[in-house]
Amino acid sequence: MVQKIALEEHILTPGMIDYWRPTMTTVPPALTARLFERLNDFGDVRLEAMDKSGIARAVLSVAGPGVQAERDAAVATRKAREANDFLAGEIQKRPDRYAGFAHIAVQDPKAAADELERCMRDLKFCGAMINGHTHGLYLDHPSLSPFWERAEALGALIYLHPADPVTPLSVLDGYDALARPMWGWGVETGSHALRMVVGGLFDRFPKARLALGHLGETLPYLLWRFDSRAKFQGLSLNKPPSQYIRDNIWVTISGMLSAEPLKCSLDALGRDRVMFGADYPFEDMAEAGHFLDTVQIEESLRADVGYNNAAKLLGL
């Protein structure tokens, strides 16, 4: 069993519960209750599951949508800070097993930058997880330059987590099973990341660091086409789109436990760009651990994906 650092491991804090519950309206009540219990557990249940899966450290983050769903900027900023302080208190009880991603309210970009710095400097968090757009504000928007300037200076990893699109995709009308994790979230999140690439965010902030789950939301599979069509369209960027994806984006295996996309991501992005994640409790931690332990890759690569890449990137 290879040692692992898990990067997409969710929790709830007291002020985030009311944002989370509306996302569960189509989920059976018994499953919602079980998820809620596990999201609020920082003790034996989570730690036992980690032990059985070979997870030495879990980087904890607030389950979406969190304050991305809040319209009042001042309330969002306050609640994000409260969530971060609560999480830091739980991490302090088991600093050998837990680390944290900051919860960030981008409604106020300067306050978001300050909170990111506070969390990394004072709370010793590893970066931040942002749960998609904020009422249609995507992370490439020029108003967020103060946040990205600070994130770049801090060397912070910004993990972009899926969210519902602003407007439901009409092509999925009548097929609720496709709307969220099965397909729609990947379309939304991959598109969000591509906005950052083609919008020149990584030209403006060349050292910015972005992480995507699900082995990159299909982006590694499409690198050639991105470059081909960017040239055809005459996009004015300093580099081909594929090079930004290779230089500025890391991916985790969360929710994508299959050898073929893993090998595609490794081949497309490089062995240092792929990391482990279980997406607990929405995915089975034991299944994720077993997949990485048994997938047919060389042992040194297994150790890099499981532990070494995250340890180096996040300073763990």
Residues designated catalytic: 279
- Give the list of residues 6+ apart from residue 98 with CB closer than 8 angstroms, or none: 42, 57, 58, 59, 60, 90, 91
**Long-range Cβ pairs for the range 149-154 (8 Å, 24+):** 149/113, 149/205, 150/113, 150/114, 150/116, 150/117, 151/113, 151/116, 151/127, 151/205, 151/208, 151/209, 152/205, 152/207, 152/208, 154/116, 154/117, 154/120
Q: Measured between alpha carbons, how far is 206 from 195 in angstroms, rounded to an integer?
A: 15
Residues in the chain: 316
Pull the structure tokens for residue 212: 């995507």
Is the Cα torsion angle 61, 131, 144, 250 positive or negative in sign? positive
- Tokens encoding 254: 């969360």
* Token couple for 102: 């900051």
Tell me the C-alpha distance between 176 and 306, whole Å: 34
Q: Is 11 helix (H, G, I), strand (E, B) or coil?
A: strand
Side by side, which strands form the sheet with 55-62?
A: 4-11, 55-62, 98-100
Q: How far apart are the first and last CA of the chain?
A: 20
Q: Which long-range contacts (CB under 8 A, 24 or more apart) does 237-240 make?
A: 237/197, 237/198, 237/200, 237/203, 238/203
Residue bearing tokens 């992480």: 211
DSSP 8-state code for residue 101: P
